[in-house]
Amino acid sequence: MVTPVTSTEIMRSRRGVLGAALALLSSTSLVAACQAKDATPAEANKAKGGADHASHAPAAMSTVAFIEVWKTPNCGCCKLWIKILEKEGFKVKANNVAQTAGIRTKLGIPDDMGSCHTGLIAGFAIEGHVPASEIKRLLTEPESLRQQVIGLSVPGMPIGSPGMEMGTKRDKFDVMLVLKGGKSRVYQSYEALA
């Protein structure tokens, strides 16, 4: 069993961290090569087990943009995405779990928005291959918007999203803003590249 994240915990983790964290984020360029994806979400979901590791949010995020990530052990594209975040100035704690659906559900991401890994930063869920720039953008949104937000998702594993590089090819994909109450909307569209 995983314990639910309370709104109190989320609010506490959001408060007082963002300003210092964002100051440290630099916009270095993304350099990552990916030749193959490992487990698809469907394959990953076949694995049995729970997400017991998922119950502890970071105790202190201090001055670094700290993101905790849950992934399956052999997920290569998850590792590439994490590397990109680290290059972009995030501090990442990666947890291996047999499947990520448990933590995804716990954090409020709908199943149809699911991907191969789930993150938690400043109380926001980050599902799948979300570009670092969109995470930074979310963290700088006005409080009035942030209060309505569960997090961001790139559903599935689109080719050309960060960590899913295949040369210069990119499928069109959307970064979705997942809102409390079950709604979501497109936060940013990325056009296809040949």
Q: Measured between alpha carbons, how far is residue 77 from residues 10, 22, 37, 46, 66 in Å?
A: 28, 25, 6, 18, 20
The Cα 184–Cα 180 span in angstroms is 8
Do the Cβ atoms of 97 and 68 come closer than 8 Å?
A: no
By CB under 5 A, residue 130 contacts Cu ion: no
Q: Helix (H, G, I), strand (E, B), or coil: what is residue 157?
A: coil
CB of 156 to Cu ion, least distance (A): 9
Q: Which stretch binds Cu ion (CB under 5 A): 50-58, 76-84, 90-98, 172-180?
A: 76-84
Query: Considering beta carbons, is residue 123 or 155 the nearer one to Cu ion?
Result: 155
Give the contact letters, 142-181, x = binds to Cu ion (CB under 5 A), - = no. Answer: ---------------x------------------------
CB of 60 to Cu ion, least distance (A): 29
Quick one: 39 exposed, middle or buried, by C-beta within 10 A (0-12, 13-18, 19+)? buried
Quick one: 60 exposed, middle or buried, by C-beta within 10 A (0-12, 13-18, 19+)? exposed
Tokens of 179: 């809102």
In the list 17, 25, 69, 77, the residue contacting Cu ion (rule: CB under 5 A) is 77
Q: Which stretch binds Cu ion (CB under 5 A): 28-36, 101-109, 115-123, 176-184?
A: 115-123
Number of other residues whose CB lies within 10 A of the CB of residue 40: 15
Q: Which stretch binds Cu ion (CB under 5 A): 22-30, 108-116, 144-152, 169-177?
A: 108-116
In the list 101, 116, 120, 152, the residue contacting Cu ion (rule: CB under 5 A) is 116
CB of 71 to Cu ion, least distance (A): 8
Query: Considering beta carbons, is residue 13 or 161 the nearer one to Cu ion?
Result: 161
The Cα 83–Cα 106 span in angstroms is 25
Return residues touching Cu ion (CB under 5 A).
77, 116, 157
